[in-house]
Structure 1
Amino acid sequence: MAEVTAQEIFAGMKENFVQDAAKNIEATVVYVLQGDGGGTWTLRVHNNELSVDEGLQDGANATVTMAAKEFVKIALGQGNPVSAFMTGKIKIQGDPFLVQKFLSMFKKPNNI
């Protein structure tokens, strides 16, 4: 089985988006992933809809910086985001509680 990439996870985010978990949230979070398979993606929730754009978009409420491999582990449910944050593997500029809410808006990808 081929290794899952961050690109594949971001490509499937709309499909794994849980609209009910996004009620009353209007926010933008930028993910800056470093290392192999890295890149920058901007996720925006507006009117209960998700947009996912590759690259940096204006108006971020929070920016998450981490290794691409760590992101993949967390997205697949194989890593713990709280312990990764506490050990410095995840750095957040802006609202960390918003980032935590964003995590709850997605079911684990099973379409990869």
Structure 2
Amino acid sequence: MSENSNGGLTGELAALDFGAVSPQEFARIVKGLSAGQLAEVMRGELRVRVLGEVFGRMRQQFRPEAAGRLDALIRWKITGESDLVYETAIADGTCTVTGGRSAAEPRTTLVMADADFLRLVSGNGNPVTMFMTRRLKVAGDVGLASGLTRYFDIPKA
């Protein structure tokens, strides 16, 4: 993806059918974008579409055999032009994702900016490094948070 004079990067990505983009292709797109370009993408309606698609695919990327008997609610708070909250409930070998904050108490809460979230879920960000540099904040069960990547197929760019 490159910037151009007729609409720029945001226009190119807005035209994409995110449902047709494979996780590997998404990882490649994220890897190729600078922090500034990711910030440009994560504005307005395009931000909502991208986050909706990522969270919508978590069920398909879930690895029930790795989760075993895990029973946990994970809250994701994505910061940017506004805070968006999603929750991932893992129980009985299934993963369900809902938008918004429920009344339930999460076992762990992850807070990060848009660009860091996209890098994390696309396999382009190291969660340990992100945590150590405070770009990923964790409240609650840090052990669960540190092992979350093993419960999902994370694409490689």
TM-score by length of 2: 0.64
Q: CA deviation at 1:99?
A: 1.2
Partner of 1:47: 92
- 1:1-112 to 2 correspondences below 5 Å: 2=13, 5-36=50-81, 39-57=84-102, 58-109=104-155
SS of the equivalent of 1:56 reads: coil
2: CA distance between counterparts of 1:61 and 1:36? 26
Gaps of 5+ in 1: none
- Could you tell me whether the CA contact under 8 Å between 1:37 and 1:68 is conserved in 2? no
Gaps of 5+ in 2: 2-12, 14-28, 31-49
1: CA distance between counterparts of 2:99 and 2:124? 24
Write out the 4+ residue segments of structure 1 that deviate beyond 6 Å after TM superposition: none
1: CA distance between counterparts of 2:155 and 2:100? 21
TM-score by length of 1: 0.88
Larger radius of gyration: 2
Q: CA deviation at 1:109?
A: 4.7
Q: CA deviation at 1:100?
A: 2.0
Q: Relative to structure 1, is the Cα distance of residues 93 and 84 closer, same or farther in structure 2, using a 3 angstrom cutoff?
A: same
Q: Over residues 34-74 of structure 1, what are the superposed CA-to-partner deviations in whole Å (9 max), with x where a residue is unaligned?
A: 00485110001111111100011212011111102101101
Aligned length: 110
- Could you tell me whether the CA contact under 8 Å between 1:26 and 1:47 is conserved in 2? yes
Please identify which structure carries the higher strand content.
1
Higher relative contact order (CA 8 A, sep 6+): 1
Q: Relative to structure 1, is the Cα distance of residues 21 and 87 closer, same or farther in structure 2, using a 3 angstrom cutoff?
A: same
- Could you tell me whether the CA contact under 8 Å between 1:28 and 1:43 is conserved in 2? yes
SS of the equivalent of 1:65 reads: strand
SS of the equivalent of 1:15 reads: helix
Q: CA deviation at 1:108?
A: 2.0
1: CA distance between counterparts of 2:148 and 2:119? 16
**2:73 is aligned with what amino acid?**
T
